[in-house]
Amino acid sequence: MSNQRVVEVVEDLERLMLDFVRKHHITHAEYRAATDLIVAEVKAGEESLLLDVFLEAEATDVENESNSGSTLAIEGSFYLPGAPEVTGPAATMPHRPDEAGDALIFRGTVSGADGKPLAGAELDIWHADAEGLYSNIHPGIPDWNLRGRIKTDADGRFAVRTIVPPPYEIPKDGPTGIVLNALGRHFFRPAHIHLKLRHDGYVEHTSQLYFEGDEYLDNDVANAVRDGLVLRIESGEDAELAQRFGIAGTFNTATYDFVLVEEK
Ligand code: MBD
Ligand code: FE
């Protein structure tokens, strides 16, 4: 039995590709190079990376057009469900004893579109380490390092200690990197923190947060930076947070308030 949505979009895609082959006089050798690229992407485990770099931001833009909550952003290729829960007043992302990078307390609130704070909302957070590498993906890093799930308190607030990640560089030597190189593009994404937010009765919210001053904000290889997702890192003293997290002197904080959309 045919599926109406599949007929609609796949037949349109088919027409687009046939027109494309004709328009560019694609040779048989070029056609075969394209199928070989797909095989190479799968062999390298980069098929999602290729699509996420080139297409995913457009799909989230489409969703943002009719989204009344906080701005959505791409998931990227490295999300894994089941990260450890991080709890307590000094909630800290799983990390190595000698984890490199500047300490950051990321904090904020989660509320509904009506402004009602959401207690017990889950923030599923993952980001790269100071080398730009992701645990469970890149070798040599303990499983679940810098991946964690934290819940908001009774007032819908959260605060978690982690490190400021650096810009992320797409592997240069893999098939996706070869394509980017042939296009004359660089391989960098601005530094970012990935998040998925969940709360019963609300639509799961996938986004990413960036940092002011990053040289790749305006030329992200995945073109995924959007207004309102760029955080300012405030460096200063905050007695309450310092006590809570047992840190002395000045430290970095970054704040973001999420708005989730109710399920229909
Ligand atoms: C990532 O972490 C990412 O942000 C993108 C766009 C692609 C792959 C991994
Ligand atoms: Fe990423």
| CB 253 within 8 Å of CB 62 | no
Number of structural domains (the chain) is 1
Cα–ligand 2 centroid distance for 76 (angstroms): 6
Q: What's the one-letter identity of residue 198?
A: R
Q: Considering the domain boundaries, does residue 2 fall inside one?
A: no
Cα–ligand 2 centroid distance for 199 (angstroms): 23
190 lines ligand 1 (CB under 6 A): no
Q: Considering the domain boundaries, does residue 35 fall inside one?
A: no
Cα–ligand 1 centroid distance for 224 (angstroms): 10
Tokens describing residue 82: 């089941």
60 lines ligand 1 (CB under 6 A): no
Cα–ligand 2 centroid distance for 127 (angstroms): 6
Q: Which atom of ligand 1 is nearest to the CA of 222?
A: 6
**Is pLDDT at 124 greater than 90 in this prediction?**
yes
**Is pLDDT at 11 greater than 90 in this prediction?**
yes
167 lines ligand 1 (CB under 6 A): no
**Is pLDDT at 253 greater than 90 in this prediction?**
yes
Residue 238 has a CB neighbour count (10 Å cut-off) of 16
Q: Considering the domain boundaries, does residue 180 fall inside one?
A: yes
Q: Considering the domain boundaries, does residue 20 fall inside one?
A: no
Q: Considering the domain boundaries, does residue 19 fall inside one?
A: no
The stretch 229-252 carries a mean pLDDT of 90
Cα–ligand 2 centroid distance for 208 (angstroms): 8
B/e letters for 18-30, b = 16+ CB within 10 Å, e = fewer, are eeeeeeeeeeeee
Q: Residue 237 sits in a domain of what CATH number?
A: 2.60.130.10
What is the H or E stretch that residue 215 is in? Answer: none
Contact partners, residue 240, CB within 8 Å, separation at least 6: none
How far is residue 37's CA from residue 197's CA, in Å, rounded to a whole number? Answer: 34
- Backbone torsions φ then ψ of 116, nearest 5 degrees: -70, 125
Q: What's the one-letter identity of residue 195?
A: L
Q: Considering the domain boundaries, does residue 15 fall inside one?
A: no
Contact partners, residue 146, CB within 8 Å, separation at least 6: 93, 94, 95, 99, 126, 127, 128, 129, 134, 135, 162, 163, 165
| CB 222 within 8 Å of CB 57 | yes
Which ligand is located closest to the Cα atom of residue 49?
A: 1
What is the residue-averaged pLDDT of the chain? 96
In this prediction, what percent of the chain has a pLDDT beyond 70?
100
**Which pLDDT does position 238 carry in this prediction?**
86
Q: Considering the domain boundaries, does residue 219 fall inside one?
A: yes
Q: Name which residue sits closest to atom 3 of ligand 1, judged by CA.
A: 76
Q: Name which residue sits closest to atom 4 of ligand 1, judged by CA.
A: 76
**Is pLDDT at 57 greater than 90 in this prediction?**
yes
147 lines ligand 1 (CB under 6 A): no
Range of the structural domain that residue 183 is part of: 45-260
231 lines ligand 1 (CB under 6 A): no
Contact partners, residue 204, CB within 8 Å, separation at least 6: 196, 197, 198
**Which pLDDT does position 67 carry in this prediction?**
95
How far is residue 166's CA from residue 121's CA, in Å, rounded to a whole number? Answer: 27
In this prediction the pTM is 0.95
In this prediction, what percent of the chain has a pLDDT beyond 90?
94
Tokens describing residue 94: 């799983």
Closest CA to 135 of 125, 122, 120, 150: 125
